[in-house]
Amino acid sequence: MNKEIKIAIIGLGYVGLPLARLFATKYSVVGFDINQKRVDELMSGTDNTLEISDEVLQAVLLQKPSDKNGLYCSTSIADIKDCNYYIVTVPTPVDKNNRPILTPLIKASETVGTVLKKEDIVIYESTVYPGATEEDCIPVLEKVSGIKFNQDFYAGYSPERINPGDKEHTVEKILKVTSGSTTETGKKVDDLYKSVIIAGTHLAPTIKVAEASKVIENSQRDINIAFVNELAKIFNLLDINTNDVLEAAATKWNFLPFKPGLVGGHCIGVDPYYLAQKAEEHGYNPEIILAGRRLNDGMGNYVASEIVKCMIKKNIPVNNSKVLILGCTFKEDCPDVRNTKVVDLISALKDYGTNITIYDPWANEKEVMREYGLTCLKNLPNKKFDAVVLAVSHNKFKGIDFQSLKNNIAIVYDVKNFIDDKDVDGRL
């Protein structure tokens, strides 16, 4: 059976590469990406996203396309023409006005359409609003390929659940939702994933149900975090430690353990806008979803104002002060800086006239400069600062001597409730 299946993974980022590596343990897989540098890096046996170790990647790499099990990475469309399963894992971002950008998805569909054949199955993993696969992507496949959907070729949707930086909940250990454009296709898609996902699968009745299930997962988390962020604002006014309140409330068996913080990344900070867009197209204004987004999007400005208040209370001149930001990735212990809300915090602090230094041992300095125009240091600077702000709870920050980083009068502000009380002047 394995010899009959040849899989193309379209997009080799945080989602596509782990999936390609996993499928390559049982099938012939071609990883396709338009970024030649990324492909060259992977073919040399290294993953700079650090999702896959060099040893694990090299164990499945093939140096040329083959029908045997393994992974070959390429930028050539010719190398995927013999595949019969095409899995699209490209990003689905939003623009500056938080409107969904489907361009990567459409371009990937055009690429697949050029090689699509009868009986092929195209599976989408990119997070979208309900209906996007059949309403936006399928027409592109039909137009470019010249063949008919659900007559000549078929489709499926299986939302990604990758958690960047998480070495415990890896792709094969996370239960996978699957779906297909026909009953038979759904079974084929489910069987394909079931063959490598040890956590099991859940076959949804339709593609739209699978799409909706994914987009509400992250919308739910976003709303819950917005709630505790609002609690943090209230409790700060009441001079109550938010973390102490949450710990006390968590003693009840059904209390949900969410923490306040900056909400960024490629999923939670983006996906609710996809659902909101679809709701608005159908004449419904999603009040709770958008309220949660507004609150979370404003947390960078709020934290900056709290830091400045702490400085003023200690009579530290804010203008031209030196501020050290610890961490600029969107989450702890991974190099992913996509849609990181730390940049909102930095921008707000700069508006107060502060001089910012960023230290993050995980982040790629070139990527931070390219994406945000910010200089990020790989090594802890040997300087004194007027304010030290822990923005991301990297484990590597646990050994930092905060006193050695402070001027005679300085503050330490902890966004993540990560630092010992004795070192902290303020928390979110």
Convert the pLDDT of each residue in 127-139 to its tens digit.
999 999 999 999 9
Of the candidates 295, 330, 345, which is a domain's last residue? 295
Give CA angle at 335 (196, 217), nearest 5°. Answer: 55
Distance between CA 177 and CA 204 in Å, rounded? 7
Of the candidates 172, 205, 238, which is a domain's last residue? 205
Residue 397: phi and psi, rounded to 5, are -85, -10
Question: Of 73, 83, 267, 310, which one is the catalytic site residue?
Answer: 267
3-state secondary structure of 408: strand
| Same-domain pairing of 9 and 97 | yes
pLDDT of the residue at 3: 54
| Same-domain pairing of 183 and 268 | no
Distance between CA 122 and CA 65 in Å, rounded? 20
Region 337-365: mean pLDDT is 95
Residue 325 has pLDDT above 80, yes or no: yes
User: Does the predicted model carry a pTM greater than 0.85?
Assistant: yes
- For residue 417, give the CATH number of its domain: 3.40.50.720
Closest CA to 391 of 369, 351, 348: 348
Residue 72 has pLDDT above 60, yes or no: yes
| Same-domain pairing of 7 and 156 | yes
Task: Print the domain residue range for 256.
Answer: 214-295
| Same-domain pairing of 256 and 115 | no
Indicate the burial class of 229 (C-beta count within 10 angstroms; 0-12, 13-18, 19 or more).
buried
| Same-domain pairing of 306 and 291 | no
Q: pLDDT tier at 169 (50, 70, 90 boundaries)?
A: confident
pLDDT of the residue at 166: 75
Region 60-82: mean pLDDT is 93
| Same-domain pairing of 225 and 187 | no
Name the residue with tokens 């099938």: 27
Residue 2 has pLDDT above 80, yes or no: no
Tell me what the pLDDT averaged over the chain comes to: 94
Would you say 163 and 199 are in contact if contact means Cβ atoms under 8 Å apart?
no
Distance between CA 167 and CA 417 in Å, rounded? 23
Looking at the 3D structure of the chain, how many domains does it have?
3
Closest CA to 30 of 46, 16, 44: 16
Q: What is the DSSP string of 36-100?
A: HHHHHHHHTT--TTSSS-HHHHHHHB-SS--SSSEEEEES-GGGGTT-SEEEE-----B-TT--B
| Same-domain pairing of 390 and 373 | yes
Query: Residue 377 forms beta bridges with which residues?
Result: 359
| Same-domain pairing of 291 and 331 | no
| Same-domain pairing of 67 and 194 | yes
Of the candidates 205, 238, 268, which is a domain's last residue? 205
Region 391-401: mean pLDDT is 93
Region 365-369: mean pLDDT is 94
The lowest-confidence range among 10-19, 107-116, 279-288, 416-425 is 416-425
| Same-domain pairing of 291 and 308 | no
Q: pLDDT tier at 66 (50, 70, 90 boundaries)?
A: confident
Catalytic residue at 83?
no
| Same-domain pairing of 330 and 396 | yes
| Same-domain pairing of 10 and 107 | yes
